Structure 1
Amino acid sequence: MPKDGGIGASTKRREDMRFLTGKGRYTDDINIRGQVHAHFLRSDVAHGRINGIDLSAAEAMPGVLRILTAADFAAVGGIPCGWQVTDRHGQVMQEPKHPVLADGKVRHVGDPIAMIIAETYEQARDAAEAVLVDITELTPVLDMKAALAEGAVKVHDDLTSNLCYDWGFVEENKAAVDAAFAKAAHVTTLELVNNRLVANPMEPRVAVGDFESHSDQYTLYTTSQNPHVIRLLMGAFVLGIPEHKLRVVAPDVGGGFGSKIYHYAEEAAVTFAARLVGRPVKWTSSRSEAFISDAHGRDHVTKIELALDDENNFTALRTDTYANMGAYLSTFAPSIPTWLHGTLMAGNYKTPLIYVNVKAVFTNTVPVDAYRGAGRPEATFQLERLVDKAARELGVDPVDLRRQNFITPDMFPYQTPVAVVYDTGNYQATMDKLLEISDHAGFEARRAESATRGKLRGFGIAHYIEACGIAPSNLVGQLGARAGLYESATVRVNATGSISVYTGSHSHGQGHETSFAQVVAEMIGIDANQIDIVHGDTSNTPMGMGTYGSRSLAVGGSAIVKATNKIINKAKKIAAHLLEASEADIELKDGKFAVAGTDKSVDWAGVTLAAYVPHNYPLESLEPGLEETAFYDPSNFTYPSGAYGCEVEVDPDTGKVQVLSFAAADDFGNIVNPMIVEGQVQGGLAQGIGQALLENCAYDGNGQLLSGSFMDYAMPRADDLPMFTVDHSCITPCTHNPLGVKGCGEAGAIGSPPAVVNAVIDALQRAGHAHVTHIDMPVTPARVWAAMNG
């Protein structure tokens, strides 16, 4: 059994005490003396030319201090994109300028036109209604395929078309893939939509800009998943502020799901404005504002095809995807449909030939970027729906078809035809575990019982693999990343033996303050309560890349391990001196340094005190103190995988789908805190089921967002979800990081949508609706009823 507070223990999250008692400190809790408030006047049309802006009436209103428009930001840069994609023809993607405030044109509903700064938020909001904007409305570009037609209206006049890039991967596979399809014994084809989503984290975005004239120092408090990256992007590329003069603080953050990775215009605006007005400037997003200003997720339209031989072996796969970028390129948007999607199209299968084509398109909609899973859910949904459809066409069991084509344990490390190398895994084991924990053998009896109540019961399976901890930096740099993807840690041991760990990772719900402390406690053998985890402030943490892509433990935790090992190595030298022994004979166990084979020992606190009170210390060979910094740049991604099973009932009279049970068998490698892992999986499952059945970001023909509030955008509630059965006992440790961990934060959202849709199709086909081979998400009652009734 793991010891209390160490690796493998389900230690309660220490940070939850302050959250549950209302003691958290979020950005909106920060109020600086003398602060004023900002409100953004946003476009209410999707596409239009700005002819003029009349500020006179608004500027005369009570409390108004300043109103900023694009002209005020003429000397600063635009919001930068952090990833550059080169297309299949060797051409660099088209990259339009993304101004802080709309300049000349508005390009989506919600595009910020003016920033009103006033003594109170209410005064700023009232003044915004008095700003007169003369806009000539233009035809909006909304449909991706129509956007690429000859003569289509352009979102950006200075670009040659609405095509951002036409990416092919792996391009040299294309001819061989086409040849494999030409001689295939069977081809399964599926056209599907991966619906656009709004992230909707619990806490809307907030930004507070401050400027101290006496020191020429800027501070931005913001709801960010990666404060160091915001400092780099905003300081170097937008406002031209030297990094040592810019501090970015991301305090407690109420969830992100990817939507708080990016550098947003509001962050630059409040920081810039704080100097102009000589007072701190605060902006807090409303929930309805978040719907039209936070980056959206997903939004792919895909045709995918699978070729099989006469023994049902997969021989080739090809896809053709249109990926919506929205009106501008968000920070990591170009990488999502390409390197985080195309490289995962092998899935868990030994398909020898794969070709992926992605056309990224500009439209007059909110920009689209990473949302929980980021590219991996899109790949998994395509592939797992396709495999299920192939099994039905061939008349074979979907489980058996998957098993036949799985990469087997003896094949690892496995080089996929889409560049990545899986280091380890056991897909047969996770499938076996799923069938066990879902009681798959008892399904027919349960289906018969449902039939007695007039309900159609179905069981759907999906198997997934994802790539986490994106790396190494030299590789992603070649792929177009404009930042490194390492992580950092500083471990500072105090004289009395307590420890402060400063990490470049950022926690916004993942439990870092607990799990990171467990890792260090295990390594040294002390109580985890002696360890403090510090994050989120660029002024006291080493340069890091933040938290997303399930990288925190695999990358950030590995940096902490490296720094802690440096601490232990130095502490052993001190202990050897104190014990008058050879360093090679010193062992550390349970917080005590001992000379091997003797009863001579010194405890952890004795060594740390000697480091800072060096009366008896090897000063000739060691500096005093006990503090070390490490950076960790992984040699490869990590590859979590799993098998998911969903059981549903469909009401044939209404089309309503009820999820009755859901089982998840995951391989996350080694587990630090099982309770936190289970919580992460359950949260992801809720989001994935929400996408499959409820959530949908819909625009009308004028580019107006129809689902712009919780009255119109259906979020999952407790009674939409079953009790989950979660298992992570199938462990194949990662082979290239010191903890052997793989990442767990996105898995639930990746594997659940195809499992749900597969279950619905299974229910309908078992009931005789053989013509229903696919229903696009969200699988609403109306869509199910329409599909059943032809």
Structure 2
Amino acid sequence: MNAPVKTVGTSVKRTEDARFLTGRGRYTDDINRPGQLYAAFVRSPHAHAVLGEIDTQSALDVPGVAAVFTGADMAADGVGGLPCGWQVIGKSGVPMKEPPHPPLAVGRVRHVGDTVAVVLAESRNAAKDGAEALMIDYDPQPAVVHLADAGAPGAAQVHDDVAGNVCYDWEIGDKAATDAAFEGAAHVTRLDLVNNRLIPNAIEPRAAVGEYDPADGSYTLTTTSQNPHVIRLLMCAFVLNLPEHKVRVVAPDVGGGFGSKIFHYAEEAVVTWAAAKVGRPIKWTAERGESFMTDCHGRDHVSTAELAMDADGTFLGLRVRTLANMGAYLSTFASSVPTYLYATLLAGQYRTPAIHAEVKALFTHTTPVDAYRGAGRPEATYLLEKLVEKAAREMKMDPAELRRKNFIRPDQFPYATPVALTYDTGDYAASLDRALELSEYATFAERRAASEANGKLRGVGFSCYIEACGIAPSAVAGALGARAGLYEAAEVRFNPTGSVTVFTGSHSHGQGHETTFAQIVADRLGVPMANVEIVHGDTNRIPFGMGTYGSRSLAVGGSAIVRAIDKIIDKGKKIAAHMLEAGEGDIEFKDGVFSVAGTDKSLTMGEIAFQAYVPHNFPHDKLEPGLDESAFYDPGNFTYPAGTYICEVEVDPDTGHVTVDRFTAVDDFGTIINPMIVEGQVHGGVAQGLGQALLEGCVYDDEGQLVTGSYMDYAMPRALHIPDYRFDFTCTPCTHNPLGAKGCGEAGAIGSPPAIINAIIDALGPLGVDDIPMPATPHTVWQAIQAARASTAQAAE
């Protein structure tokens, strides 16, 4: 018998792509129900206003409009506010402020795009006409928009009961030890920086279809979500007060999420509630302009950082002060991003002995801010890697060697950082060495000289990132404020004819789970990949699940699948022992075959599965029929992917145009299941990071109007911006999950922005430019060049 072909570790083509590339994907907007109404949401044109009278009749008079609902209607039904899923306790034990967030505004609107009412009609155009006809009395109020203004005396208050607009004032680390490190330092590098606000832009906009069945009082919500079970939990327990067994949430094919589809949004609750009110299905699909205003934004930090060193460049202490923008309300996981997903990563790859960080989160009259690809880790990496690069320039040290000097060494793992985390494994110097080799760093000076000969400026920049993935364990996360478990669930079901169905609580919205999970199952059970079906995204079919975010799918979701597989194999051994008349301890399993050790007696997995469902020769006194096992997996720790990114740019000093000439990424993701899919994840992440570094920046004017409200004003990366990539991997397997996997989905977006910005600063350094903010647009770079030249000329005079 030929052993089955092993696929783990090989670049198997994605099986799900066949339906996507042939237009057979099934997205929420593809779903239409008989008799459905279309929803159009009426959104505030003001950043801050008191709501007066809402004349619903003006919309009801529009032909085709069937109903109009406001916040008062939902409040009358006892509908609650959208909840925050993570409580942060600030200094001296002060809990964060959690102002209510009604799905439809009540009494006041707090950002442009805040949802005021919903109009239901027989067609999408009729609903839009009704929404435009709705008469609303707004009394505009002063707005506070920018972080620098939000905490100032006399600033407009976003919420009356939140003094100074402060959501929380939080800290981590040892302040006394850090202050002592600075007192004894030979050199201190200081850096002020902004991590620019971003607007997520998945290919598929958000959409939702709400249904109600009066026969049994059940609801179905089909939605563009990364975690349907979490949406059901939040909506039932906090917003609509419905029993979970009466609510089904389905997330079919989802065209990209990047964090923006983790959260429970108002529209999901509204269409579900309203479907019961009118007795008809309700469908809503966002227009791109709505997405710009209402999808939770990302990043938006203002920070000051200081690095203390001795005379040789050894890191002694790190001090960080950050203001973080929450927007107008607390989104689902917003509070955790600038705290436990940001400040806990400030050690980076370095053995800095003392770190202290303070984070003050502020409300403003802007769209809520929440997790966006990387969620806190990009902000931490950008701050730390820009600071280290600046320190290297000030110390006149090679930036690679300053990093190497301060790396945590392989023999120091597990390594407890001063900011709460314990890294289990890593070899940071190995990634740096490989990146230096691939990038041809040794010959950079030659390329710089060639660029100068052509009138261009060339620079090189480094970024040695680390991230924490698979947020865990639940007990620790709960102690830190998480209001949900952070495990994952899986069910592995053998069918009588030998095919396998896997139900996973993870959700795929572009990551290739249907391929990688099938590779794991096929290899461990010895069945062909074609015989493995992966099912996800439906709360009525999956035991339970926490969804996909934080690069947790393989490390957490895959580990749950492995645990269920182990139970399948264990039961299979018992059946085989009975059928082969052998002791259970003598049964071996390998490559899909159960055999008696030392003999030629064996049974295939297919034969065992058939016997489990047709139990004519079965140990009924010891086992139940069937071959269907479930498992939950709660990790013992985060996983810690890490790597080195090196970027080379060429700058045209006459125009400020930046070309990313080459980009090298060497990542340690632990065990890799499918290298092609992993490379694609890094490729996409680097593209997003390049967008933040060079192009993307969300801008509000002083009145809170969104200036960058369309693609005319918000620049996304295109094919012409994408550089020549050089990829490779090192591997130190994770020590605490059965796959040894660490996660790869966010690394590119975490590591690339500082590498790109550091490269630009290096290119402009000879002109006297010592910093460039993101996004480094041609105009921004050109202005920096002109300012440096003017300063040089003035000094010469």
**Structure 1 3/668 Cα, relative in aligned 2: closer, same or farther at 3 Å?**
farther
* In 2, Cα distance between equivalents of 1:127 and 1:526: 56
**Superposed counterparts of 1:258-273, under 5 Å:** 258-273=259-274
What is the aligned partner in structure 2 of residue 346 from structure 1? 347
Q: Secondary structure at the match of 1:764?
A: helix
Alpha carbons 1:3, 1:9 under 8 Å: kept: no
Q: Are the equivalent residues in 2 in contact too, given 1:109–1:292 (CA < 8 A)? A: yes
Distance (Å, rounded) in 1 between the aligned partners of 2:565 and 2:235: 32
Give the 4+ runs in structure 1 shifted more than 3 A. 2-5
Q: Could you tell me which residue of structure 2 aligns to residue 150 of structure 1?
A: 153
Corresponding position of 1:103: 106
Query: How far apart are 1:340 and its partner, in Å?
Result: 0.2
Say whether residues 1:136 and 2:139 are aligned partners. Answer: yes
Task: Confirm or deny: 8 A CA contact 2:4 2:528 kept in the other structure.
Answer: no
Q: Which residue of structure 2 lines up, in the alignment, with residue 84 of structure 1?
A: 87
- The CA distance in 2 between the partners of 1:147 and 1:295, in whole Å, is 19
CA–CA separation in structure 1 for the residues paired with 2:431 and 2:91: 36
Query: How far did 1:603 drift?
Result: 1.1
Query: Counterparts in 2 of 1:607-686, with a 5 A limit?
Result: 607-686=608-687
State the match for 2:603 in structure 1: 602
**1:420-454 deviations in whole A, cap 9, x for unaligned?**
00000000000000001111112111111111211
2:782 counterpart (763, 785, 788): 785
Which residue matches 2:791? none
Matching residue of 1:763: 763
SS of alignment partner, residue 204 of structure 2: coil
* Conservation of the 8 A alpha-carbon contact between 1:5 and 1:527: no
CA offsets 1:658-711 (integer angstroms, 9 cap, x no match) = 001101000000100111100000000000011000000001111111111111
For the pair 1:382 / 2:379, whether they are aligned, the reply is: no
Counterparts of 1:614 and 1:56 in 2: how far apart (Å)?
A: 67
- The structure-2 alpha-carbon separation of the partners of 1:646 and 1:245, relative to structure 1 and needing over 3 Å to count, comes to same
- Residue 731 of structure 1 corresponds to 731
- Which residue identity lines up with residue 285 of structure 1 in the other structure? A
Residue 723 of structure 1: CA displacement?
A: 2.3
Q: Could you say what secondary structure the match of 1:789 adopts?
A: helix
Q: 1:420: which partner in 2?
A: 421
Please tell me whether the aligned partners of residues 197 and 697 of structure 2 are also in contact (alpha carbons under 8 angstroms): yes
Displacement after TM superposition at 1:229 (Å)? 0.2
Q: How many Å separate the matches in 1 of 2:202 and 2:4?
A: 34
Which residue pairs with 1:740 in the alignment? 740
Q: Could you tell me how far apart the structure 2 residues matched to 1:388 and 1:605 are? A: 58
User: Are positions 1:257 and 2:258 aligned together?
Assistant: yes
In 2: Cα distance, 1:131 partner to 1:110 partner: 15
Counterpart of 1:588 in 2: which secondary structure? Answer: strand
Would you say the 8 A contact 2:664–2:727 is kept in 1? yes
Which digits, 9 at most, give the CA deviation of each residue in 1:578-637, with x for residues without a partner?
Answer: 111111111122211111111111111111010011101111111100111100000000
- Distance apart, 1:520 and its partner CA: 0.9
The alignment partner of 2:155 has SS state of coil
* Secondary structure of the structure 1 residue equivalent to 2:713: coil
Higher mean C-alpha deviation, range 639-648 or range 777-786: 777-786
Alignment partner, residue 302 of structure 2: 301
Equivalent in the alignment of 2:96: 93
Residue 775 of structure 1 corresponds to 772
Work out whether residues 46 and 107 of structure 1, in 8 Å CA contact, stay in contact via their aligned partners in 2. yes
Displacement of 1:151 in angstroms is 2.4
**Which secondary structure state, in structure 2, belongs to the residue aligned with residue 161 of structure 1?**
helix
Given residue 774 of structure 1, which amino acid in structure 2 is its aligned partner? D
Alignment partner, residue 210 of structure 1: 211
SS in 2 for 1:357: strand
Q: Which residue of 2 aligns with 1:700?
A: 701
Deviates more, 1:130-139 or 1:635-644: 130-139
Structure 1 position 3, deviation (Å): 7.0
CA drift at 1:160: 2.5
SS in 1 for 2:767: coil
Contact 2:4–2:591 (Cα < 8 Å) also in 1: no
Partners in 2 of 1:154 and 1:779 — Cα distance? Answer: 33
Matched with 1:558 is 559
Q: Which secondary structure does the structure 1 equivalent of 2:137 belong to?
A: strand
Does the aligned pair in 1 maintain the 2:595–2:602 contact within 8 Å?
yes
Q: Is the 8 A contact 1:469 1:550 kept in 2?
A: yes
Shift, 1:309, TM fit: 1.0
What letter is aligned with 2:171?
G
Q: Equivalent residue for 1:68? A: 69
Aligned residue for 1:513? Answer: 514
8 Å Cα contact 1:88-1:169 kept in structure 2: no
* CA deviation vs aligned residue, 1:538-571 (integer Å, no higher than 9, x gap): 0010111000000000000000000000000000
Q: How far apart are the structure 2 equivalents of 1:678 and 1:112?
A: 39
Distance 1:143 1:780 in 2: 21
Letter in 2 for 1:296: H
Alpha-carbon distance in 1 for matches of 2:132, 2:607: 67
Code of the residue aligned with 1:617 in structure 2: it is F
Distance 1:424 1:607 in 2: 39
Cα-to-partner distance string for 1:472-529 (whole Å, 9 max, x where unaligned):
0010001111110000001111111111000000000010000001111111111111
Determine the structure 2 residue equivalent to 1:165.
168
Aligned runs of 1:323-722 on 2, under 5 Å? Answer: 323-722=324-723
- 2:113 is aligned with what amino acid? G
Q: Partner letter of residue 424 of structure 1?
A: T
User: Residue 100 of structure 1 aligns to a residue in which SS?
Assistant: coil
Alpha-carbon distance, 1:183 to partner: 2.1
Alignment of 1:288 onto 2:289: yes
Residues 361 and 302 (structure 1 numbering): CA distance in 2 closer, same or farther, change over 3 Å? same
Amino acid at match of 1:255: G
The gaps in structure 2 that reach 5 residues or longer are: 788-797
Following superposition, the deviation at residue 781 of structure 1 comes to 1.1
The match for 1:194 is: 195
Of the structure 1 ranges 440-449 and 228-237, higher mean CA displacement relative to structure 2 is found in 440-449
Identical-pair percentage: 63
**Structure 1 residue runs without a partner (length 5+):** none
| Inter-partner Cα distance in structure 1 for 2:130 and 2:149 | 39
Q: Which moved more, 1:52-61 or 1:279-288?
A: 52-61
Matching residue of 1:248: 249
Q: Distance in 1 between matches of 2:58 and 2:688?
A: 45
Q: Are 2:4 and 2:526, in contact at CA under 8 Å, matched by a contact in 1?
A: no
Measured in 2, the distance between the counterparts of 1:706 and 1:640 equals 36
Change in CA separation of 1:109 and 1:678 when aligned onto 2, cut-off 3 Å: same
Distance in 1 between residues matched to 2:326 and 2:337, nearest whole Å? 10
Q: For 2:163, what is the secondary structure of its paired residue? A: coil
User: Once the 2 structures are TM-superposed, how far is the Cα of residue 5 of structure 1 from its aligned partner?
Assistant: 5.7
Kept after mapping to 1: 8 A contact 2:80/2:102: yes
The C-alpha deviation readout for 1:329-362, integer Å capped at 9, x for no partner, is: 0000000000000100000000000001100000
Tell whether 2:122 aligns with 1:119: yes
What is the root-mean-square deviation of aligned Cα atoms in Å?
Answer: 0.9
Q: CA 1:258–1:414 in 2, change beyond 3 Å: closer, same or farther?
A: same
**Corresponding residue number in structure 1 for 2:792:** none
In 2, Cα distance between equivalents of 1:386 and 1:57:
57
- When normalised by structure 2's length, the TM-score is 0.98
- 2:91 counterpart SS class: coil
Q: Distance in 1 between matches of 2:506 and 2:58?
A: 46
Please give the per-residue CA displacement for 1:313-336, whole angstroms capped at 9, x wherever unaligned. Answer: 100001000000000000000000
- Separation in 1 of the partners of 2:603 and 2:93? 63
Offset, 1:4: 4.3
What is the CA-CA distance between 1:102 and the residue it aligns to? Answer: 1.0
Q: Aligned residue for 2:179?
A: 178
1:4–1:11 contact (8 Å) kept in structure 2: no
Aligned-partner residue type, residue 455 of structure 1? K
Letter matched to residue 602 of structure 2: S
